[in-house]
Amino acid sequence: MSNKKRTTKNKPSTLKKILRVALAIAIPLGGGLLVSLLTMNAMTQFNALKQPPLAPPAWLFPVAWTILYILMGVASYLIYRAWEKGKKAEKHCARIALMLYGIQLVFNFIWTPIFFNLGLYWLAFAILAIMWVLEVILIAGILKLSRGAFWCLIPYLLWTTFAAYLNIAIAILN
């Protein structure tokens, strides 16, 4: 009986798990919402730009980003869980992964106003390229740590790759 008490004390409650997942999802969603509010007025100007082939309709962006931010939040929670449960080497790997996640998330949030509000398309592309490299490093680093986090971040990497195409094409066309 004492072993059961000892193991249950170290496990977070279901409510704590739910709150941690909610917080992990709220961080990218909240940042994305804030950035979208900052760039809302720039969308009219953006819609007037010459668009490249394969440019999706404007309504797709908020839908795609909402899904991606949720997946990113879930991935960060899974990385956190790997840190929480892991041995020394896994804790170190998870800590680095969480730092990379945070840094690339900052680049993600910075890109939007630079691209939409300031219209600095080449600078935005450079930021996007750095973000893409950080994503690749993050995804490669977490494969052994958390397969779930790995798969949650793959759509984000694919979308970022597509966003890079759109960014560079808009820079060239405009």
For residue 82, give the nearest of 68, 102, 103, 96 by alpha carbon.
Answer: 96
Residue 1 confidence (pLDDT) above 60: no
Specify the pTM: 0.88
At 89-146, the pLDDT tens digits run 888 899 999 999 999 999 999 999 999 999 999 999 999 999 999 999 999 999 989 9
Question: b or e along 57-86 (b: 16 or more beta carbons within 10 Å of the residue's beta carbon)?
Answer: eeeebeebbeebbebbbbbbbbbbbbbeeb
Residue 9 confidence (pLDDT) above 70: no
At 22-78, the pLDDT tens digits run 999 999 999 999 999 999 888 888 889 999 999 999 889 999 999 999 999 999 999
**Rg of the chain over all Cα atoms, to the nearest angstrom:** 19
Cα-flanking dihedrals φ and ψ of residue 142, to 5°? -100, 0
The domain limits of the chain are 2-36+58-173
For residue 111, give the nearest of 103, 151, 137 by alpha carbon.
Answer: 103
